[in-house]
Amino acid sequence: MPIVTIAHETGSGGPEIGTALAERLGYRFVDREMISQAARQYGVTEDKLAQLDETKPSLFERFDVETRQYISIIQSGLYDVAEQDNVVINSRGGQILLRGITHVLRVRVIAPFELRVKRVMDKMTGRMGESVDVRTTAEMVRRSDHEKHGRMRYLYDVDWGDPALYDLVVNTDKVPMEAAVEMIAGLVRRPEVQATATSHQAVRDRGLASRVRAALAAHPETRKYRINVEAEQGVIRLEGTAAIEKAADVARTVAGVVDVKGQLLEVPPIPPFVA
């Protein structure tokens, strides 16, 4: 069965559509629990994973090896969920990590800024039982948009709002939630997005490569090196300028790896300075 990823602007109704869609299809709707599961599996702090999942890293964090480890864990958590199929994934970069997989339908939910602010205000008012300041709410929504754009730019060097990243963009100012759910459910049943043996293998390959990256990022002898990892039917290919032999040893400890091939890349010499 197809996988659906839903990226959304704050206040656009994305989570509500995702929840209703999962119920309509008999799928699981996966949101924050994916972070909790990844934290338990890899033995790391859930709060740190959640922070990196929701905000762009600071300038210091971008050069921190622990940050790279946590990002690898978040990505591995998403692939673990995707490998199980029959799932609607709320955000978490699924539109990037699963692009090119034929049985993945990538949806983005949007709405005009003013409407999103009003929806967030209504929701907060109902939750807290008192009125909420418009200016404060608008700033919160604006900051959320900024963080999402910044995180996607840092992690994947893409514009989060680029429609080319999605198979369907839904504007909930024009399309009611029920109509959006019905439309997406209809697309999910189309033959063009049904899973095949090849597309399933592609998800497994990406998941295995991601788990190897997480293992390399956690190991004290490989975590400081940038090592490229690719997987094909259980065979891991490593490329880097250092620690390839140790990286191969670490990769062999990851469940699902059947063989490891490593290539040590030469560092190009620095040309002499000519006055």
Task: State mean pLDDT over 262-270.
Answer: 76
Buried b (16+ CB within 10 A) or exposed e, 104-134: bbbbbbbbeeeebbbbbbeebeeeeeeebee
pLDDT at 45 over 80: no
Structure tokens at 151: 């995180």
Range scoring the smallest mean pLDDT among 61-65, 77-81, 93-97 = 61-65
Confidence of residue 268 (pLDDT cuts 50, 70, 90): low
Inter-CA distances, 6 with 45, 65, 222, 250, 253, Å: 26, 29, 34, 34, 33
Task: State mean pLDDT over 86-106.
Answer: 92
Confidence of residue 264 (pLDDT cuts 50, 70, 90): confident
- For residues 39 and 113, the model is more confident at 113
Question: CA 81, CA 89: separation in Å to the nearest integer?
Answer: 8
Most confident of 35-49, 80-94, 248-262: 248-262
Architecture of domain 3-193: 3-Layer(aba) Sandwich (3.40)
User: How do 3-8 and 259-264 pair as beta strands?
Assistant: unpaired
Mean pLDDT in the chain? 88
Inter-CA distances, 28 with 42, 74, 200, 224, 274, Å: 22, 19, 18, 37, 63
Confidence of residue 17 (pLDDT cuts 50, 70, 90): very high
Confidence of residue 73 (pLDDT cuts 50, 70, 90): confident
Task: State mean pLDDT over 195-212.
Answer: 96
Task: State mean pLDDT over 50-68.
Answer: 63
pLDDT at 109 over 80: yes
pLDDT at 119 over 90: yes
- For residues 139 and 66, the model is more confident at 139
pLDDT at 138 over 60: yes
pLDDT at 26 over 70: yes
Q: How confident is the model over 226-256, as pLDDT tens digits?
A: 899 999 999 999 999 888 999 999 999 999 9
Confidence of residue 208 (pLDDT cuts 50, 70, 90): very high
pLDDT at 211 over 80: yes
Confidence of residue 275 (pLDDT cuts 50, 70, 90): very low
What ranges do the domains of the chain cover?
A: 3-193, 219-264
